[in-house]
Structure 1
Amino acid sequence: MSTQQEGRYLRIVKDGLWDNNGVLAMLLGMCPSMAMTTSATNALGMGLATAVVMAASSLLVAVFRHWITQEIRIPVFILIVAAMVTLVDITMNAWMHELYKVLGLFIPLIVSNCLPLARLEAFAAKERPYPALLDGAFMGLGFTLALVMIGAVREIVGSGTLFADASLLLGPNFHFMEMKLLPETSNVLVMVLPPGGFLVTGLLIIFKRVIDLRSGKEIQMAGAHSV
């Protein structure tokens, strides 16, 4: 692998996880970001399901990109995403039924999530399979990261716990992740209600923006000093 390819792949990873994060930068997939982040466990389950769908869909679109004509590309993209969502939905219902009951309708609604379709149109349909797979996987993981951060803040402040019922998602060996951090008397109920989702998401977007601006200033200052 050449240095140029390595640099491009690292760029794809960084874009997915941070620079072009689907929630915190592009503001896509806001419906699950608001509805499924009442706890970090729900957020992690929803995020990972979306990541699997995005990675598999991106790979398939890249493999068949030469046979997908411009006129029918959107219906084909939706069909591929729907097929992957169906597989994930059946798998979760079979192996993680308790969590499946919590996530409920929002697993099938991944089909209508703007983020997978946006990445298929913008990237996977124009790239070779490996970069497309990498983009889908890390865009999905970036989406998962954003959801878990939102869910963790809302759960800690609203319920005083962190990763409650994580064993439903990860298995009985992960009971150690289930933590009680704050007493019930200090819980802020609004954080687990819809307004809490908007509030936490907005604060995290601001936090990311501040970090990006400061990083940009530091890079500019370093460049000025080097000159």
Structure 2
Amino acid sequence: MRMWKEFIKGLWKENAVFRQLMGMCPTLAVTNAAINGLAMGLATLFVLVCSSVIIAIVKNYIPDKVRIPSFIVVIATFVTIADLFMAAFFPDIQKVLGLFIPLIVVNCLILGRAEAFASNNPVKYALMDALGMGVGFTWALTLLGIIREVLGMGSIFGIEVMGVNFTPWIIFILPPGAFITLGILLGIFNAFSKKKTSEASCH
């Protein structure tokens, strides 16, 4: 039961993007297309899961004085693997994401889960926490990418969906579009959460 709880919290209740506003650099920078958001989310998911498991395994052998540097070395190792894998098999996406893949090393989501959770819990819980947070981060970036791509280009994952008469709203694939889309989604989700809270309190 606890393992399921650790997984599901990252999908919504503690969602890194929509609830905690973590990892905003890649969230705002690479979500101008759905495929970019999905690719960045999956790369982050891979790094988060692998680093959390390793840190949970070796946490008792790491001296407190070098805890954070040790975590960063572990995280950087898996970021390098993810970057090289994408460069080998998905070079076009890797070029688009560019510097933001190496910057996963300093993503506060990754280091935050390593420090706050993986270093204080058994491996099985660290794994489920990382999976939940990673999947939550991935669906959030993909949703942002879908909305921005539909409004800015009239397509989803490169497939035209809006028809020939649609006039793209170019602003949505530009940096201001990221802030506009995220702000609207945060407003909707916050209103939905408040409504559910008020309904629960009434009952």
Question: TM-score w.r.t. structure 1 length?
Answer: 0.85
Aligned-pair CA distance for 1:221: 2.7
Structure 1 residue 99, shift from structure 2 partner: 1.6
Q: CA deviation at 1:12?
A: 1.6
Q: Cα distance, 1:179 vs. partner?
A: 3.7
In the alignment, structure 1 residue 211 sits paired with structure 2 residue 185: no
Q: How far apart are the structure 1 equivalents of 2:8 and 2:117?
A: 15
The CA RMSD measured in Å over matched residues stands at 1.3
Q: How does 1:1-227 map to 2 (within 5 A)?
A: 6=1, 8-164=2-158, 178-183=159-164, 185-222=166-203
Q: Give, in angstroms, the shift of residue 13 of structure 1.
A: 2.1
Checking the alignment, whether the CA contact within 8 Å between 2:41 and 2:139 is kept in structure 1 is yes
Q: Secondary structure at the match of 1:65?
A: helix
Q: Deviations over 1:52-71 (max 9, x none)?
A: 00000000000011112222
Give every structure 1 segment of 4 or more consecutive aligned residues whose post-TM-superposition deviation is greater than 3 Å: 182-185
The one-letter code sitting in structure 1 at the alignment partner of 2:109 is: L
Cα drift, residue 184 of structure 1: 6.3
- Alpha-carbon offset, residue 23 of structure 1: 0.9
Greater mean alpha carbon deviation, residues 93-102 or residues 25-34: 93-102
Q: Which amino acid is 2:118 matched to?
A: A
Given the superposition, is the C-alpha separation of residues 184 and 135 from structure 1 closer, same or farther in structure 2, using an over 3 Å criterion? Answer: farther
| Cα distance between partner residues in 1 of 2:115 and 2:68 | 8
Unmatched 5+ residue regions in structure 1? 1-5, 165-177, 223-227
TM-superposed deviation, 1:209:
1.2
Contact preservation (8 Å) 2:49, 2:127: yes
C-alpha spacing 1:101/1:145, structure 2 compared with 1 (3 Å): same
Residues 206 and 29 of structure 1, relative CA distance in 2, 3 Å threshold: same
Distance 1:217 1:11 in 2: 23
When the two structures are superposed, what TM-score results if normalisation uses the length of structure 2?
A: 0.95
1:161–1:182 contact (8 Å) kept in structure 2: no
The structure, 1 or 2, with the larger RCO (C-alpha pairs under 8 Å, 6+ apart) is 2
Deviation at 1:101, TM superposition (A): 1.7
Give the greater-gyration-radius structure (CA): 1
Query: Could you say what secondary structure the match of 1:38 adopts?
Result: coil
Q: Distance in 1 between matches of 2:190 and 2:162?
A: 28
Unaligned runs of 5+ in 2: none
Cα deviations across residues 113-169 of structure 1 (Å, max 9, x unaligned)? 1110011111000000111011111111111111111111111111110111xxxxx
Q: Report the Cα offset of residue 94 of structure 1.
A: 1.2
